[in-house]
Amino acid sequence: MRHVDDASSLPVSWWKSSASAAQSDCVECGIVDADTVAVRDSKNPNGPALLLDRGRLAAFVGAVAAGEFGNVA
């Protein structure tokens, strides 16, 4: 897994889930290129971002949706 130290340095448009509340307590995603998605903490836009290939991100989201990580609320 790769990362960048300053997510604001990436040339992407960031978005968050439409299910996010009005607060900024969520993650944001940005498309880096055809194969890579950046993920950052919306509360820290100048902090680090993970760079994930689309397949791994889809697998992670699928695992979360399937409850594979238990109840984390």
Q: What is the pLDDT of residue 17?
A: 73
Which backbone phi and psi does 3 adopt, to 5 degrees? -155, 165
Burial class (CB in 10 A: 0-12, 13-18, 19+), 40: buried
The number of domains in the chain is 1
pLDDT of residue 70: 79
- The reported pLDDT for the residue numbered 49 is 97
Q: What is the pTM of this model?
A: 0.80
Q: Give all strands (DSSP E) within 1-73, no chain letters.
A: 2-4, 15-16, 27-31, 36-41, 49-53
Residue 55 in any domain: the answer is: yes
Q: In this prediction, what percent of the chain has a pLDDT beyond 90?
A: 63
Asked if residue 70 is part of any domain, the answer here is no
Q: Classify 10 as helix, strand or coil.
A: coil
Strand order in the sheet with 27-31: 2-4, 49-53, 36-41, 27-31, 15-16
- Tell me whether residue 72 is in a domain: no
